Chains A and B, each alone.
Chain A
């Protein structure tokens, strides 16, 4: 039985389509909480492929004070097809003190990956948050976004993360995120905030967004494997 030692702690699981930006959002959120002097554990639950996981960033993030539960590249890569490897400590992630941020990989099972974390679904603290990038082909229309969100099952929040990599413009962000907002309102799911690459700061500083904006530092570019 998981005892709640810290009633006000944050437990967030980021789910989302392949390459939607879950890991980037998860890292930034973990570092944000660390910046508020919380104790934070970041958990790698990417089990489908070995690319773009937290593994290569483990040392860097631990250097910034996070407790990171994942294998390192060396542990997992000497051995060939090592996508689906789960660090046993991930199973008991919720037993760590302080905030827990879970980076759930992609896959047809969606948020069911949380079954692998003991006590996740029973936890009253857990929020399951979907990260959506409107430029991704599987979520690039209101119908597709709605279908995708309904497939995911229980969702406690959404993060609008529309971007086009180095071709992102204010227009792309606004148009995409507004669509996400509309669908979210229809389905009654709160949109927590918009994630925007901090290099866009100048370009968007004059625009008035309807929902909070969090500026994202890109870490995952260095995390190809």
Chain B
């Protein structure tokens, strides 16, 4: 059996992980792991994990971590950072934990330009609880609580988080949207986000467009099509705000 090359900051006893086949989390966590290795910050990095599929990463890294409550990851890592500024605190959450129940904390952390890094994995549904509608569910998309398709007249349009975060934050914050369909860019954005915290500049936030074939009930081809053709159209990918200059490699 072939043992794949894995980031040093990954915690091997917890592998293979429990994410579903085809889930984008695995890709995000790999990019995160490689970024942590390349920046050499494994010992300083502490994670906060939300409730949702993100909780499956509770023992993913060989870094200290804590589970929080649904939507409360942001304030927990803010509290940790403010009391221990030398740590690199990373909050890891989904679209529900970030844009729904956690939105007030996200917004306020951004306004205060908290020096934390938040990674928000957006798969347009509440995965762990069985596929309910999320703030980022697309118009017409069927979920367990929008069984006839999301009607924007009733429940609005999908939340564009990085856009409002970019509006709220000063110039030394880092705000980006990545996608699991472009791995090198994803890793670069995550590196920049962590670098922003390492340099003590300000808030750093990366939303990652991700896949959930289990709740979308899609095969491989349909999964990629939904991500690349539908999600990436609704949610533009790129850096919205960076102190490092655009296209910094």
Contacts and interface: CB of A to CB of B under 8 A. Distances in A.
A86 B211 CA distance: 14
Interface in B1-41: 16, 18, 20-22
Interface string A97-141: 000000000011100110110100100000000000000000000
B144 interface: yes
Interface in B133-177: 142-144, 147
A80 B22 contact: no
Contacts of A91: 21-22
A85 B144 contact: no
B130 A80 contact: no
A107 to B, nearest CB: 7
Contacts, number: 76
Given A48-B144, A91-B22, A84 B218 contact: no
A83 B52 CA distance: 10
Contact of B215 (A47, A71, A88, A118): A47
Interface in A46-65: 47-49
A88 B129 CA distance: 19
Contact of B214 (A47, A82, A118): A47
B213 A79 contact: no
B128 A115 contact: no
A107 B20 contact: no
A75 interface: yes
Contacts of A121: 219
B127 interface: yes
A206 to B, nearest CB: 44
Contacts of A171: none
A14 B142 CA distance: 22
A47 B215 CA distance: 8
A172 to B, nearest CB: 29
Contacts of A71: 18
B56 interface: yes
A83 B215 CA distance: 11
Interface string B109-144: 000000000000000000111110000000000111
Given A48-B144, A85-B18, A80 B51 contact: yes
Given A81-B55, A83-B129, A115 B218 contact: yes
Interface in B209-225: 213-215, 217-220, 222
A10 B196 CA distance: 57
A119 B147 CA distance: 27
Given A75-B18, A84-B131, A116 B219 contact: yes
B144 A84 contact: no
A115 B131 contact: no
A81 B97 CA distance: 13
Nearest to A91: B21
Given A84-B214, A84-B215, A107 B18 contact: no
A108 to B, nearest CB: 5
A113 B131 contact: no
B128 A84 contact: yes
B88 interface: no
A97 to B, nearest CB: 20
A109 B129 contact: no
A116 B143 CA distance: 17
Given A83-B129, A86-B214, A108 B21 contact: no
Interface of A: 47-49, 71, 75-76, 79-86, 88, 90-91, 107-109, 112-113, 115-116, 118, 121
A-B pairs, 6 with minimum CB distance? A48-B130, A112-B217, A86-B20, A88-B21, A109-B217, A115-B219
22 contacts: A47-B130, A47-B215, A48-B130, A48-B144, A79-B55, A81-B51, A84-B127, A84-B128, A85-B18, A86-B20, A86-B214, A88-B16, A107-B131, A108-B142, A108-B144, A108-B147, A109-B217, A113-B217, A116-B22, A116-B213, A116-B214, A116-B219
Interface of B: 16, 18, 20-22, 51-53, 55-56, 58, 127-131, 142-144, 147, 213-215, 217-220, 222
